[in-house]
């Protein structure tokens, strides 16, 4: 697997953990810190410490879960860095899923106005999505990533072996982003995905997804234009995710919510952006086959619309969607009306 | 007064408030927010709203004081932005002293991964120091600016009229930085300051200080090298300030603490960096004449040294000082031993 070159940093695939150890040894850091949650501490940390042969580090563990990607845990991380005496030449290693890489990236990018950090994504989602692009963030009052920075990591290490301990539902969560990558810019990749073993996505597929995401973010690091391609499924998907986080005991994963968003937004795309009925049906078939149906009530539409309005992607009161013009092609900044959005939710409900 | 050009933004002096109103009107912002504390809300906001002729804005007021430059108030600002529906095209106007410009700058630079903000410094200190350089920040557990970003404002507006309502002690606080500017790089400016009415520094003097600070930060935006010139007086001064904030009912202002730091560090400079005895005496005479004596006890030395070690400027366990080699010349990265630092504190105590 080629190393992928991003904006001043590399994304390593082959022998990723050895590369990480090399990176630590070569960098002239005074100290290094590993941020984990209890799951990555159990399943992923041993694979790494195995290779550290005795290099001393400090461990910062936070509780897993999106609901903990908040300012309180972030303050906890900052205080641990203070207590451990982290200085400006310290390195932070974020070992975990997107919650850890986002929050750890934010904590590092603001600690002493910014210390170096590297991302070691351990979920499929964080490998194919959160790993490149430089977005860091935390949630406030359940509003996702409302606070954050654009800060590039010094390197990213994608170790496929971490996926072995990942629950199937987490694999499915990352898969939604991979399918999205195909749908927006690479019809051949979409076709390849459809015929692959999607319960165990190969490292080639992961690599292709990172390549796609990387090409897009390199062209548009601050989300002024084409990066919005990546928002496909996310205007509605994020709103559903926020809703579920507030209301459900066992809330939707990011990918499960995005899968719903992709169905709804494909419906809108069919209505007004050129996506054919056959393409819509193909997308719905693949997604419905992979993802369980989620119950949405008409009574929740107002709250969902409000969530969309509060979304940081939107300016003023308009709600924008990235729509497919065909499989493998997209168009950004499509203003969608409340009635179009509600119709698409109804379409999903009635599937 | 010339407008000073900094890193992609301008610092306006002439008709600064009219320039601000122009800036607001020309910028295609969806909304704008004014951040104040109760004092700038009372004394400064009316001068601005007078000129807004009816332009609608939302006001965010926080409580004044360094002890409120913390994450709780910052979360409060973020939540107000959320509640007021601030989007990515919103503008934040930080109207206040360094507490407001630092915290407001941090809040804006991280809200939705960064919205535009402008600085309208209303204290002498914030005009001559906090206004340029792009440092934003908040304190945690009394550790100053431990969390923050480097983010440039879109513009800075320095209105001399704000200084009229400023208490004399606040004028003195800013003055310490102006004296520092002379001491590190401009002996002629130092001489001019000595013979000026320092209870009411003229706008020319303010302008010269901003020019000096700006030249230094432009050369070294991320504090890798010569920007450390500005740390003169701050290694010891910050430690004393932190100490005072924790222990004193009526704690030292930043400038009062820096004045102490400049005396101590000038003493060290005389001992090992070439500053002559005559120069040391001249510096001590000017500063002692302006600033009240602060009582420091030998018992506090350990805590003061610990504060210096925790300072984000330091790497590893070394304590670094910027020392004067002469009035108007400096040398950075001088490692100072605990005994040198304690000797200099004793020198101050025995003045
Ligand atoms: N920065 C970006 O560009 C970006 C992009 C997409 C998503 N995100 C963010 O990522 C987050 C979601 O990421 P996620 O799905 O990875 O969530 P997550 O970090 O919560 O991980 C999901 C669960 O898997 C566990 N886990 C992680 N690695 C494991 C492993 N190898 N074996 C066993 N268990 C493991 C975690 O402890 C957690 O319980 C969201 O907060 C989202 O906003 C960020
Ligand atoms: N970002 C930087 O580069 C930088 C540089 C230097 C200092 N700072 C920060 O600045 C802060 C200190 O700044 P400060 O001294 O301006 O403190 P401050 O903001 O606390 O202001 C001092 C007091 O004056 C009041 N005030 C402000 N303007 C007034 C006016 N025009 N009339 C009457 N009262 C007024 C305030 O309400 C406050 O009570 C510290 O937190 C320090 O870390 C930042
Ligand atoms: Zn996503
Ligand atoms: Zn200062």
**B85 contacts on A by Cβ (under 8 Å):** 310
Query: Cα distance from B106 to chain A (closest Cα, Å)?
Result: 9
Q: How far is the CA of A142 from the centre of ligand 1 (A)?
A: 16
- Looking at residue B196, the DSSP 8-state letter turns out to be S
Q: Of B137, B147, B312, which has the smallest distance from its Cβ to A88's Cβ?
A: B312
Lookup result for tokens 């366990």: B317
The Cα B137–Cα B324 span in angstroms is: 27
Question: Are A159 and A174 in the same domain?
Answer: no
pLDDT tens-digit readout, A166-204 = 999 999 999 999 999 999 999 999 999 999 999 999 999
Rounded to a whole number, what is the distance in Å from the CA of B269 to chain A's nearest CA?
26
Mean of the per-residue pLDDT values for chain B? 95
pLDDT of residue B53: 86
Rg over CA atoms, chain B: 20
Which residue has the CA at smallest separation from atom 10 of ligand 1?
A98
In this structure, the answer to whether residues B40 and B125 fall within a common structural domain is yes
* Chain A with chain B: Cβ pairs closer than 8 A: 91
End-of-domain residue from the set A106, A137, A165: A165
| In a shared domain, residues A161 and A268 | no
Express as a percent the part of chain B with pLDDT over 90.
Answer: 91
CB pair distance less than 8 Å for B113 and A149:
yes
Q: Are residues A150 and A225 in the same domain?
A: no
pLDDT for res A142: 81
The mean-pLDDT minimum among A79-88, A309-318, B35-44 falls in A309-318
Please count the CA atoms within 13 angstroms of the CA of B44 that sit on its side-chain side. 30
pLDDT at A203: 97
CATH of residue B219's domain is: 1.20.1090.10
Strands A10-12 and A32-37: unpaired
State the burial class of residue A299 (Cβ atoms within 10 Å of its Cβ: 0-12, 13-18, 19+): exposed
Does the Cβ of B44 fall within 6 Å of ligand 2?
yes
Domain's final residue, options A103, A137, A165: A165
Residue B231 tokens, joined: 């740390």
CA distance B78 to chain A (A): 8
Question: ∠ CA(B339), CA(B340), CA(B345), 5° rounding?
Answer: 95
- With cut-offs at 50, 70 and 90, classify the pLDDT of residue B340: very high
B265 and B136, same structural domain? no
- Band (B314; pLDDT cuts 50, 70, 90): low
* End-to-end alpha carbon distance in chain B: 40
Q: What is the pLDDT of residues A216-270, one digit of tens each?
A: 999 998 778 889 999 999 999 999 998 998 899 999 999 999 999 999 999 999 9
> Among candidates A52, A46, A34, A42, which has minimal Cα distance to A94?
A34
CATH classification at residue A97: 3.40.50.1970
Pair (A260, A317) in one structural domain:
yes
The mean predicted confidence, pLDDT, of chain A is 95
Whether the Cβ atoms of residue B287 and residue B190 lie closer than 8 Å to each other: no
- Residue A69 Cα: closest atom of ligand 1: 41
Torsion of CA B284, B181, B199, B172, to 10 degrees: -70
> Model confidence at B312, in pLDDT bands (50, 70, 90)?
low
The answer to whether residues B206 and B306 belong to one domain is: yes
Q: Over the stretch B256-285, which tens digit does the pLDDT of each residue have?
A: 999 999 999 999 999 999 999 999 999 999
Q: Nearest-CA distance from B82 to chain A in Å?
A: 8
A56 plus A114 within the same structural domain: yes
Mutate to test the pocket of ligand 1, among A34, A67, A96, A237 (most ligand atoms within 8 A of CB): A96
Atom in ligand 1 nearest the alpha carbon of residue A137: 1
Nearest C-alpha to atom 5 of ligand 1 is from which residue?
A130
The dihedral of CA A195, A198, A200, A206: what is its sign?
positive
Q: pTM of the predicted model, to two decimals?
A: 0.93
Query: Are A286 and A194 within 8 A, CB to CB?
Result: yes
| Confidence at residue A222, expressed as pLDDT on a 0 to 100 scale | 79
pLDDT of B223 reads: 78
* Burial (Cβ within 10 Å: 0-12, 13-18, ≥19) of residue A53: exposed
Query: How high is the pLDDT of residue A332?
Result: 95
DSSP state of B291: S
- The boundaries of the domain holding residue B18 are 4-165
> Which string of b and e fits A180-203 if b means at least 16 CB within 10 Å?
bbbbbbbeebbeebeeeebeebeb
Question: Mean pLDDT over residues B89-109, rounded?
Answer: 98
In terms of CA atoms, which chain A residue is nearest residue B141? Answer: A79
Q: Cα(B238) to centroid of ligand 4, in Å? A: 8
Q: ipTM value, please give it.
A: 0.90
Cα–Cα distance, A59 to A36 (Å, whole number): 8
Number of domains in chain B: 2
Q: Is A254 exposed, middle or buried (0-12, 13-18, 19+ CB in 10 A)?
A: buried
Taking CB atoms and an 8 Å limit, are B146 and A30 in contact across chains?
no
When pLDDT is cut at 50, 70 and 90, the band that residue A144 belongs to is confident
If you average pLDDT over residues B175-183, what whole number do you get? 98
| Strand-pair partners of A326 | A329
Is B138 in the same domain as B40? yes
Reduced to 3 states (helix: H, G, I; strand: E, B; else coil), residue B1 is: coil
Same domain, A128 and A237: no
Share of chain A above pLDDT 70, in %: 99
Q: What is the pLDDT of residue A311?
A: 75
Of the candidates A273, A286, A282, A287, which has an alpha carbon nearest to the alpha carbon of residue A320? A273
Q: Return the closest-CA partner of residue A139 out of A81, A74, A232.
A: A74
B112/A312 CB distance under 8 A: yes
User: Is the Cα torsion angle A176, A181, A183, A184 positive or negative in sign?
Assistant: positive
Q: Angle A185-A187-A190 (CA atoms, 0-180°, nearest 5)?
A: 105
Whether the pLDDT of residue B315 is over 80: the answer is no
> Which of B31, B112, B115, B313 best probes binding to A when mutated, by most A CB atoms within 10 angstroms?
B112
| B11/B223 Cα distance (integer angstroms) | 21
Per-residue pLDDT tens over the stretch B32-75? 999 999 999 999 999 999 999 889 999 999 999 988 999 999 99
Q: Where among B107, B142, B165 does a domain terminate? A: B165
- Res. B245 pLDDT band, cuts 50 70 90: confident
Ranking A34-48, A228-242, A312-326, B193-207 by mean pLDDT, the lowest is: A312-326
B88 phi, psi to nearest 5 deg:
-65, -15
Cα dihedral: A331, A335, A338, A341 (round 10): 0
**Per-residue pLDDT at B152 exceeds 70:** yes
Q: Are residues A238 and A339 in the same domain?
A: yes
Distance CA B130, CA B119 (A): 9
B221 pLDDT above the threshold of 90: no
The DSSP symbol for B2 reads P
**Residue A107's pLDDT is what?**
98
Helix (H) or strand (E) holding A19: helix A16-26
Q: Are residues A151 and A183 in the same domain?
A: no
Mark out chain A residues that contact chain B at CB-CB < 8 A. Answer: 30, 71, 75, 78-79, 82, 85, 87-89, 106, 109-114, 135-137, 140-141, 143, 145-150, 310, 312, 314-316
Tell whether the model's pLDDT for residue A316 goes beyond 90. no
**Contact B210 CB / ligand 2 (< 6 Å):** no
Residues of B in contact with A111 (CB under 8 A): 146-147
Confidence category of residue A312, pLDDT binned at 50, 70, 90? low
């Amino acid at each position: 697997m080629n190393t992928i070159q991003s904006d001043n940093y590399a994304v390593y695939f082959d022998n990723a953990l050895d590369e990480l150890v090399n990176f630590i040894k070569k960098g002239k850091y005074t100290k290094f810190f590993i941020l984990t949650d209890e799951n990555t501490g159990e399943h992923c940390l041993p694979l790494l410490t195995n290779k550290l042969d005795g290099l001393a580090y400090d461990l910062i563990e936070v509780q897993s879960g999106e609901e903990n990607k908040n300012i309180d845990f972030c303050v906890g991380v900052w205080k641990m860095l203070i207590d451990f005496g982290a200085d400006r030449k310290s390195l932070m290693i974020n070992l975990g899923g997107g919650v850890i890489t986002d929050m750890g990236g934010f904590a590092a990018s603001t600690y002493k106005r910014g210390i170096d950090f590297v991302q070691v994504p351990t979920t499929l989602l964080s490998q194919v999505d959160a790993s490149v692009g430089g977005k860091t963030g935390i949630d406030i009052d359940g509003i996702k990533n409302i606070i954050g920075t654009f800060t590039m990591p010094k390197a990213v290490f994608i170790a496929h072996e971490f996926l072995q301990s990942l629950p199937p539902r987490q694999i499915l969560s990352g898969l939604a982003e991979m399918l999205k990558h195909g749908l927006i810019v690479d019809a051949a990749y979409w076709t390849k995905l459809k015929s692959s073993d999607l319960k165990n996505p190969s490292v080639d597929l992961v690599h292709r997804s990172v390549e796609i995401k990387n090409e897009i973010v390199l062209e548009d690091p601050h989300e002024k234009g084409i990066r919005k391609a990546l928002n496909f499924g996310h205007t509605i998907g994020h709103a559903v995710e926020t809703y579920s986080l507030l209301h459900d005991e066992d809330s939707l994963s990011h990918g499960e919510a995005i899968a719903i968003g992709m169905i709804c937004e494909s419906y809108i795309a069919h209505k007004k952006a050129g996506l054919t009925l056959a393409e819509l049906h193909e997308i719905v078939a693949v997604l419905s086959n992979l993802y369980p149906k989620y119950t949405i009530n008409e009574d929740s539409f107002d709250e969902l619309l409000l969530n969309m309005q509060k979304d940081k992607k939107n300016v003023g009161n308009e709600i924008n969607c990235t729509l497919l013009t065909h499989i493998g092609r997209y168009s950004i900044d499509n203003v969608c009306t409340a009635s179009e959005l509600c119709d698409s939710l109804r379409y999903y409900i009635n599937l």
